[in-house]
Amino acid sequence: FPEMLSNPRLTSVQRTLNVVMNQNVSLSCHSDSGSPPVTYTLFKHSQKVSTLNRPDLTPALFNLTIKSAGDVGEYKCKAENKVSSGGKYSNSLNFTLIEPISKPVLSSPTSQAKKGQNVTLSCLSENGSLPITYIFFKGKQNISPPVKMHKREAAVIFLCISSSSDFGTYKCRAENSFRNNTKYSNSFNFTLAEERSHSQPLIISFGLILLLFIIGFALAIPFFIIPSYKASE
């Protein structure tokens, strides 16, 4: 007697749901039991994508190309035979579009620091699929654990410039789930801020006083010279 189909299973042949732009992917839809022939229909967001007929219980393979972000929506498939009224629907699958990250930018609110000063370093990749993991380096030695960011925000670390060696070269590294796509940032160096001498304000004050004295003297000259000139006439 004709047997009703079991609910089909929709799986990714690639065994991963992470895809990149213009990638070719295959989806397998298969009912384990039921009477053939079987008609399989693939849907994306309830919109029919393709239909395949199988004379037996072999899987139906749907080949797709990820051409845009709209191609990574929810997929389902439906299996039908002569006794499955309305058909049986599968589980849903969602592809995740991953994009390579751009070169991260390493920056700080200040490039000059004094010994004992606390400073911050920020690392950000403007492009690339999330999450993005950042690691900070001084020279070739990492100075932070991996910082995973799930939002398009900079990873930030706090440092204390405690010795001359802390004025070395800093970099950061960014990576996401896109394979073989680790990017390093620009180099960043803190420079030692010049400390003002304690005598400098005294010198400036003395110079201002001297300048005022000279101006006052110049203004007073007419009051002394003119009366003397009149008295001699």
Give yes or no: residues 187 and 120 share one domain: yes
Q: Is the pTM of this model over 0.75?
A: no
- Mean pLDDT (the chain) is 88
Q: Which two tokens stand for residue 117?
A: 């000063």
Task: Please answer whether residues 33 and 84 qualify as being in contact, where contact means their C-beta atoms are separated by less than 8 angstroms.
Answer: no
CA–CA separation, 196 vs 218, rounded Å? 33
* pLDDT(122) > 70: yes
What's the confidence (pLDDT) of residue 175? 96
- What are the pLDDT digits (tens) for 43-73? 998 899 999 999 999 999 999 999 988 898 8
**Last residue in a domain, options 77, 97, 117:** 97
Considering the domain architecture, whether residues 19 and 73 belong to the same structural domain is answered as yes
pLDDT tens track for 10-49: 999 998 898 998 999 999 999 999 999 999 999 998 899 9
156-206 residue pLDDT tens: 999 999 888 888 899 999 999 888 889 999 999 998 887 554 445 555 566
pLDDT at 77 over 90: yes
Containing structural domain, residue 82? 9-97
Question: What CATH number is attached to the domain comprising 49?
Answer: 2.60.40.10
What 49-54 contacts at long range (C-beta under 8 Å, 24+ apart), as own/partner pairs, is: 49/75
Instruction: Report the domain count for the chain.
Output: 2
Q: What is the band of 227 on the pLDDT scale with cuts at 50, 70, 90?
A: low
* Number of other residues whose CB lies within 10 A of the CB of residue 232: 6
Phi, psi angle pair for 209, to nearest 5°: -65, -45
- Asked if 93 and 115 sit in the same domain, the reply is no
Query: Quick check: is 2 in a domain?
Result: no
Q: Is the pLDDT of residue 99 over 60?
A: yes
197 lies in a domain?
no
Together in a domain, 33 and 62: yes
